[in-house]
Amino acid sequence: MRKTFRVKKNKDFQEIFKNGHSIANRQFIIYKYQNGSVGHFRLGLSVSKKIGNAVVRNRIKRYIRQSFLELKNEIHPAYDYIVIARKPASEMSFKEVKNSLIHVLKIAKVLKKTSKEIKNQ
């Protein structure tokens, strides 16, 4: 995922946490915040040290980035997203992570298609 699609600055993270709307399931918490200046969505990731060592944390981040990359055309572009991984995400495969993120994004009403249409692609 290109750098223009990432939320990296602490100021941006704090603004999204303060003014954004959160949606959660057992594995992930997603904050969404309306971005007016950028023509595409941006993604920020937060994976705590409580979840596991660096190998586990980096694997989870790779899975999340890849899931968003595959869903790029289905995700509403007018928002910035922060994904916070919870402990159960450390034991999930890529397919489980993607399905869980689809579930949370569907609850957040930011997907253009239903999860069945996405899974059948």
How confident is the model over 45-79, as pLDDT tens digits? 999 999 999 999 999 999 999 999 999 999 988 88
pLDDT reading at 28 higher than 90: yes
pLDDT reading at 115 higher than 70: no
The whole-number pLDDT of residue 47 equals: 95
Answer for the pair 117, 44: CB distance below 8 angstroms, yes or no: no
Q: Which residue has the tokens 């869903």?
A: 71
What are the DSSP E strand ranges found in 20-117? 21-24, 28-34, 42-46, 79-85
What is the Cα–Cα distance from 10 to 70, expressed in whole angstroms? 26
CATH number of 3-119: 3.30.230.10
What is the Cα–Cα distance from 109 to 6, expressed in whole angstroms? 21
pTM tops 0.85, yes or no: yes
